[in-house]
Amino acid sequence: MKINKIGFNYTYDNDFFVSRPNGSGDYLLILLKSPAIFNIGGIEIKARENSVILYKKGTPQFYRAHGAEFVCDWFHFSCSEDEIGELQSLNIPFDRVIETGGINELSMLIKSMSYENYSDNLYRSHSLELYMQLFFVKLGEKLRSSGYDSSHYEKMAAVRSRIYSTPQQQWSVYALAEETGMSASYFEHTYKSIFGISLKNDVIAGRIEHAKFMLSTTDVPIGSIGRMCGYKSDVHFLRQFKSRTGCTPTEYRKRYL
């Protein structure tokens, strides 16, 4: 993939419009930060902020502001047939306005891509290609998450990141639910619907993963590792580790060191 032109946080007046009957000659992705109106196949579609559209090469492009201003991130790019196949494998549709629930992560990637594009870095082209691959993978994940309660997806992703980053914490579903503005039962239901695992089991999985990492890369005593992973009892740590891995921490360490 190759960036042809890119813009981050572009802002236009309320009379802004684009009319390209034959398309732009390449592919175009737009992240909306304000409402807009798109004409697709002769049908006008009112798009909300936090929506995304990926125009295929040759598709007519008609869109305009719908409100006080038009704000967006965008990039024009070229790609091969194989790369188009990769986009399709991520279930990213062309020529359709899609609401995402939130575009902060995607917007930050475009910001980084924009800075890189206008830099004189030695490996700029390679970096941009990697950025684009990451962008579309994250877009594919975002669109997949829209099948869940997308308004809570980013909150849940942040919670899960903290669980895996700080396994020593004593996590409470009630505290996390209050933090995210949900009831405990709704929090648990939403968490499991998004990640396919209950909060309780995910906390255990995060602790065991960290324990495995520490056992295989350090010589820290096993009891200390248990406490670093949130276990107050060595016996509890040993039992839960063996239940999840099929071996004791000592056996695991011998296998990998």
Final residue in a domain of this structure, among 145, 161, 180: 145
What pLDDT is stored for residue 146 in this prediction? 57
What pLDDT is stored for residue 35 in this prediction? 95
pLDDT of 130 > 80? The answer is yes
pLDDT of 126 > 90? The answer is yes
Residue type, 176: L
Report the run of H or E that residue 76 belongs to, with start and end.
strand 69-78
Encode pLDDT of 146-182 as tens digits.
Answer: 555 556 777 888 899 999 999 999 999 999 999 988 9
Do 172 and 248 share a domain, yes or no? yes
What pLDDT is stored for residue 229 in this prediction? 96
Contacts of 86 (CB under 8 A, 6+ apart): 136
Residue type, 222: I
pLDDT of 31 > 70? The answer is yes
Directed axis angle between helix 249-256 and helix 199-217, to 10°?
50
Please tell me the total count of domains within the chain: 2
Do 154 and 137 share a domain, yes or no? no
- What's the whole-number mean pLDDT along residues 125-148? 85
Question: Are the CB atoms for 142 and 90 separated by under 8 Å?
Answer: no
At residue 81 the predicted structure's pLDDT band, cuts being 50, 70 and 90, is confident
Final residue in a domain of this structure, among 90, 125, 145: 145
Final residue in a domain of this structure, among 93, 111, 145: 145
DSSP sequence for 25-55: SSEEEEEESS-EEEEETTEEEEE-TTEEEEE
Do 200 and 93 share a domain, yes or no? no
At residue 252 the predicted structure's pLDDT band, cuts being 50, 70 and 90, is very high
**What range defines the domain where residue 182 resides?**
149-257
Do 130 and 212 share a domain, yes or no? no
Do 132 and 176 share a domain, yes or no? no
Q: What does the alpha-carbon distance between residue 175 and residue 197 come to, in Å, rounded to a whole number?
A: 19
Contacts of 204 (CB under 8 A, 6+ apart): 240, 244
pLDDT of 19 > 90? The answer is yes
Q: What is the chain's mean pLDDT, rounded?
A: 91
Q: How far is CA 20 from CA 40, 55, 63, 75, in A?
A: 12, 12, 9, 16
What pLDDT is stored for residue 151 in this prediction? 60
Q: What does the alpha-carbon distance between residue 69 and residue 127 come to, in Å, rounded to a whole number?
A: 32
Kindly calculate the radius of gyration of the chain based on its CA atoms and give it in whole angstroms. 23
Do 141 and 153 share a domain, yes or no? no
Do 95 and 194 share a domain, yes or no? no
What pLDDT is stored for residue 145 in this prediction? 64
The H-assigned helical ranges of the chain are 81-89, 104-117, 124-145, 150-165, 173-179, 184-195, 199-217, 222-228, 234-245, 249-256
Taking alpha carbons only, the member of 31, 36, 72, 33 closest to residue 54 is 31
Do 161 and 90 share a domain, yes or no? no
